Amino acid sequence: MAGMECSKQYKRNWPEYNKKLVKRGLVALSRPQTSEEEKEETKRGKGRPRVYDDVMIAFVCGLKAMLGKPYRMLEGMLTDLLGSSETRIPCYSTLWKRCNEFESKKATSDGKRKRVVAIDSTGIKVTMRGEWMRNKWKVRRGWLKLHILTDVETNEILSFIVTDERSGDAKHMLELVDDALSRGYNIVRVLADGAYDTRRNWNGMKERKIEFVTNIRKNASTASKGCICRAAAVRERNEIGDEAWKEKYGYRMRWKVESAISDFKRMFGEYVSSKKFKNMVKEIGHNIDAFNDLKRVAA
């Protein structure tokens, strides 16, 4: 019965939600407007001021992330979009250079809303070229590993780290949480799968006064062994049962990070087009910025 009610409510709210999804197109094609303060900031510093300010480059980065077009095509699109105005259009080589130098914007929060977050990682292909060659001749090029921390309510990606495929998941958890905390996010609970069940993560969450909920293995020891908080969680889990313990602490909401990963890959694909690792990280960062902008529009 509850499922039927949710389905009916979803159908009733669909027209309003559909309008929000349509508005996402406005985010990609909204023209940049540079304020006077930003113009003055561009002129500061040593040397000749830059011809194209960061507002223009941020617009191009978002446009490339959402459309996935090469820089030469972006130059032609910008000429059509902004050619009637007084804005100078950068050439494709300038776009490539500035976009690979441009730091992804890290959103900040006022810390008023208490956030429950989930953490996980996913694989990103380094390129879609040469698939036949790799399958035929068994040539291995490796892949990237994207570690993300997401808000389970809004599905926004609060922080991320890009590594190679050899890097483990658990050792990046505290770094992701600290990055989100440094930008004002009020995190009260972290949900993670069994790969993050380490004493370092349990003690780190206790030091930061954040509730940590993970999938503890069934034969876990009740002895502290340097981690009192994990031992207490194991004893409580054994006393009330695994299902009741997960229900009590809302562990079932961990699936929201899987939803965010699915949305991200459906929007921006499973691969990056850049060839250098530092440019790959920049590209993923611009994609995440665009992803969060789209999530805020449809919220």
What pLDDT is stored for residue 5 in this prediction?
Answer: 52
Ranges of beta strands (E only) in the chain are: 114-125, 143-151, 157-164, 186-192, 211-214
- Whether 4 has a pLDDT exceeding 60, the answer reads no
The structural domains of the chain, with segments of one domain joined by +, span 31-101, 114-272
pTM: 0.83
pLDDT in tens, 216-261: 988 898 888 889 999 999 999 999 999 999 999 999 999 999 999 9
> Beta 114-125 vs 186-192: how paired, if at all?
parallel
Chosen CATH of 114-272 out of 1.10.3470, 3.40.50, 3.30.420, 1.20.58: 3.30.420
pLDDT in tens, 42-85: 555 566 667 787 888 888 888 888 888 889 998 888 888 776 66
Comparing CA positions, the residue from 175, 228, 177 lying closest to residue 203 is 228
Q: Output 35 or 232, whichever has higher pLDDT.
A: 232
Please give the Cα distance from 108 to 106 (Å, whole number): 6
- Whether 141 has a pLDDT exceeding 90, the answer reads no
Please give the Cα distance from 24 to 45 (Å, whole number): 36
Mean pLDDT score across all residues of the chain: 84
pLDDT in tens, 80-126: 877 666 777 889 999 999 899 888 777 777 778 899 999 999 999 88
Q: What tokens were used for 284? A: 């993923």
Q: Output 31 or 82, whichever has higher pLDDT.
A: 82
What pLDDT is stored for residue 3 in this prediction?
Answer: 46
